[in-house]
A and B are shown apart, each in its own frame.
Chain A
Amino acid sequence: MLNDEHIELRKSVEEFAREVVAPVIGDYYERCEFPYEIVRKMGAMGLFGLPVPEEYGGMGGDYFALCLTLEELARVDSSVAITLEAAVSLGAMPLLRYGTAEQKARWLPKLTSGEMLGAFGLTEPGGGTDVPGGMRTTAVLDGGEWVINGSKAFITNSGTDITGFVAVAAITGREGGRPEISTIIVPSGTPGFTVSKKYSKVGWSASDTRELSFTDCRVPEENLLGERGRGYAQFLRTLDEGRVAIAALSVGLAQGCVDESLRYARERTAFGRAIGGFQAMQFKIADMEARAHTARLAYYHAAERMLAGLPFKKEAAIAKLVASNAAMDNARDATQVFGGYGFMNEFPVGRFYRDAKILEVGEGTSEVQRMLIARELGMDA
């Protein structure tokens, strides 16, 4: 399903990742620092506008182009990949899909150029999977303004120097006892909107993740994104798409483990020969390659259905499930190939190991993916 342009894009991003990201990302990671310079260069290359039409400054490509890009970036580093993933799939795409003409004109050109990042605030400290039941953030209309109160947790790209807004999911009323959920754009710096300091994370250390709080935070009524009360349906679509993207990112990490292990197995000698000559290494690396390959096919298939306008919920859940498994398994095996050096942060595989875990949790846990698959198979809860 890859056409010539996709292949050339992948090559272009592969070069970018190797030449621009790989030499410096280890230091950013060690210092838990957001890589503004890399993000600026990704912006210049048009990566933040990949699936956005040209009229909004985008590249006029498709979501598959974004997935290939995420895979190539994550082969080298996941912090950079997730920064792009969240910026496009959670920042730009909801605006593109549900925004008014004014909202699109105001935000999209800056988002697609990478000058500005948008974030999406859904998860709360007291509810990850349990949405909307666990949601507590509220927004009430008062004199032509939304008044927002509540807090959000684990929000990617929400606290960088170039963050322009957070689209916040909030309860805007009740309908027959069920919460009515809407999404509201809150520009950075709005009084009452507080961004806490960065979390100390196990992985993705060069990406920006924050807890947010809203205290009588007021924004104009027209900052509503999409229809009032449609917030839940909107982000379900966003999450289905995002699963394909996270699957692509996971495949990249899994493949990066193969790349690094292959290189090391050729160079490292033991008992008078390169360790790649031992069957124990060959079988391990063969398994790793097989996992990366099958996971890639799974996300290609999900992306293909999505772009063809076919139902893809089950395929996206399967891709996310198997790709995150592949990433976790490959990271464990790659660090084993590296022996003691695998436990040292100076080697990429140590970073891959730390970055892999979140893939089984973010954008729907593996348990959620299994639940979705079972549901698609017609099994009742």
Chain B
Amino acid sequence: MNIVVCVKQVPDTATERKLRSDDKTLDREAADGVVNELDEYAVEEALKLKEAHGGEVTVLTMGPGKATETIRKVLAMGADKAVHLSDDALHGSDALSTSYAMAQALKKIGFDLVVLGSESTDARTGVLAAMLAERLGVPQLTLANKVEVNGSAIAVQRLTDYGYDKVEASLPAVVSVVEKINEPRYPSFKGIMAAKKKPVETLGVADAEISADQVGLANAWSEVVDFAVAPPRAAGTVVKDEGDGGAKIAEFLASKKFV
């Protein structure tokens, strides 16, 4: 099975994250780049599927030169090869144009299954899987907390508020995973050594047959008009129980529309 796992380098959630004052895009230099946490679950699932069914796992990432750190980590976890979609023309692409660029790259790579995390910790749109499936004309199986492949059939448990839906489709398909699905492995030293020798192909927009006039900040369908730093958390309310504590808490929750 030819599995492509899409990963994104995001700023470390443990550090302070900023937007750039000039073009209002993410300031990638301000924070350490790490693999988007949910994508690590996607990588683990892809590796498990490969271990069970054979085949190959290719990492696809779109991002600046710095994203090679992310590629190296995923290769060290066990992926076989990588494609790095990198071009200045892609800077500032929104979800819609990112899905177009990624879909073009995926068509070029070829796949039986595309696996990705259900959202990124930076932009948090959570729409890429659906957009990719639509653009590629294949079924989408999103928010999976269990994936089973049997020949050309694929079935997932799709996490819902009330439990899960069982969703079935046939390959090729796009799957997005949630964090309950598995426990991502840490790169071993052997994996780290082996990653050095694995092939990494870099694609520019022309290589992936991406029209430059459909990507980048200037061609984005959505625009960041303004942004502000989140206000510091206000002091909490302390409820003293003088016989009416329960009522006061209920009142508070009702005022915040929790109940």
Contact = CB atoms under 8 A, between A and B. Distances in A.
A and B: interacting chains: yes
A44 interface: yes
A46 interface: yes
A5 B195 CA distance: 10
B13 interface: no
B192 A12 contact: yes
Interface stretch (B128-136, B182-190, B209-217): B182-190
Interface string B172-205: 0000000000000111111111001000000000
B196 A12 contact: no
B72 A8 contact: yes
A59 B190 CA distance: 5
Contacts of A16: 186
Q: Is chain A's interface secondary structure helix, strand, loop, or mixed overall?
A: helix
A45 B190 contact: no
Interface in B196-250: 196
A8 B192 contact: yes
A38 to B, nearest CB: 12
B188 A45 contact: yes
A44 B190 CA distance: 12
Given A5-B196, A8-B72, A8-B76, A59 B185 contact: no
Interface residues of B, number: 13
B190 A12 contact: no
Given A8-B72, A8-B76, A60 B187 contact: no
Contacts of B188: 12, 45-46, 59
Contacts of A8: 72-73, 76, 187, 192
Which one of B185, B188, B196 has the greatest number of beta carbons of chain A within 10 Å?
B188
A61 interface: yes
A9 to B, nearest CB: 5
A27 interface: no
A5 B76 CA distance: 10
B104 to A, nearest CB: 31
A310 B192 CA distance: 28
A4 B197 CA distance: 13
A12 B72 contact: no
B76 A46 contact: no
Interface string A1-44: 00011001100110110000000000000000000000000001
Contacts of A54: 190
A50 B185 contact: no
Contacts of A61: 189-190, 193
Interface of B: 72-73, 76, 185-193, 196
